[in-house]
Every structure is written in C-alpha cells, then in structure tokens.
Amino acid sequence: MENFNEIQRTAFYQSYIRYLASGFVSKPFHIIDSRGIRGLAVDVQKPESLDAWKGFNQYIVERHRSIGYVLKNTKESKPDESFQLRNYLKPSIRLQMSTPAEQLFGNITVEISSLDDERFRFKCQSTYYQDFQFKKARSFDEWMATIFDLQAFNL
C-alpha cells in the first residue's frame, strides 16, 4: 500500500477552507450536515490511486486513535463490490465512564466506496448524540483540525 499522500490531505483541506470562506461547496467535494451527522466527502476520479486513499483512510483512523478512539470494526470488500473499505471508531469506554458521557466528536466512519466504473468516494463522517446522557460533541471545526493536524500546516 502506498504511503499517505500529503498532496491529497492538502487538497482535501483546501476544499474545506474554501467551503468555510464562501459557504459554497464545489464538486467533487461534499459537506454532510444533518441532524446528528456531519462529515466530508470527496469524489475521486479513477485511476487516481485507491491505495493512496486507503493510506489517507488509515491516517485518519490513527489520528482518532491518538485522541482516545477505539477501532470497533473494519470491513474491506472486493474491488467489484459497492464499497472497498470501511472503518468504524467509537470513543474509548474509559471516556464514557462519567455521566454525562464524553463522546468527543461522536462515532466515526471512514469509508471508500465505488460510485461507478470511473469514480470512487472518500467519506469521513461523524454521528453524534444530542441527549442528556452525553456531553455535547466537539465542534466540526475542531474535528477538522484534528483530522488535518493543522499544526502541520502552520495555521
């Protein structure tokens, strides 16, 4: 598998910054914002390296593990099926021992899925709780700063 590509992380982040500045989402970038669900997705033209995007997927998993998440499930399918790779992370049980429970950014899904013969989608999504049993989920901006390691960008 190829190493994580800094150019991909930078392009993904720059699309997010353009969204913040203008409120406009340009193709192939998508903002997911629904009740209790938020995230980012980008549609990628093949033959851009699927292995490099798998490396980005693993990078995001490791970033979350470094702040207290546990990888609960990994599923990888054959390339001819509708998705190739899905990782599901939850905050560590240790973080949830108090009441209300700490949920950090919520439960995280990082996925690479086929759209058609020419494109695939890379998606990073958070599902969070909005009830009295959980602390308020951390902000979307803080989540993006965690994913993109903004200190590495000197921002």
**In this predicted model, what pLDDT tens digit does every residue of 2-45 receive, in sequence order?**
344 555 556 666 666 666 666 655 667 788 888 899 998 888 87
Better-scored residue on pLDDT, 118 or 49: 118
Best mean pLDDT range from 2-11, 43-52, 129-138: 129-138
- Would you say residue 68 has pLDDT above 90? yes
Asked if residue 66 belongs to a domain, the reply is yes
Is 1 a domain residue?
no
Q: Which two tokens stand for residue 5?
A: 């590509």
Q: Is 44 inside a domain boundary?
A: yes
The per-residue pLDDT for 1 is 31
pLDDT at 4: 45
What is the per-residue pLDDT for 153? 41
- Report if residue 155 sits inside a domain: no
- Count of domains for the chain: 1
129 belongs to a structural domain: yes
Residue 46 falls inside a structural domain: yes
In SS3 terms, the chain reads as CCCCCHHHHHHHHHHHHHHHHHCCCCCCEEEEEECCEEEEEEEEECCCCHHHHHHHHHHHHHHHHCCCEEEEEEEECCCCCCEEEEEEEEECHHHHCCCCECCCCCEEEEEEEECCCCEEEEEEEEECCCCCCECCCCCHHHHHHHHHCHHHHCC
153 belongs to a structural domain: no
What per-residue confidence (pLDDT) applies to 111? 92
**d(C-alpha 124, C-alpha 2), whole Å:** 20
**pLDDT tens digits, residue range 71-97?**
999 988 876 666 689 999 999 998 888
Q: Which domain holds residue 30?
A: 6-148
Taking the model in full, what pTM does it have? 0.80
In which residue are the tokens 């602390």 written? 135
Per the CB < 8 A criterion, the answer to whether 12 and 28 are in contact is: no
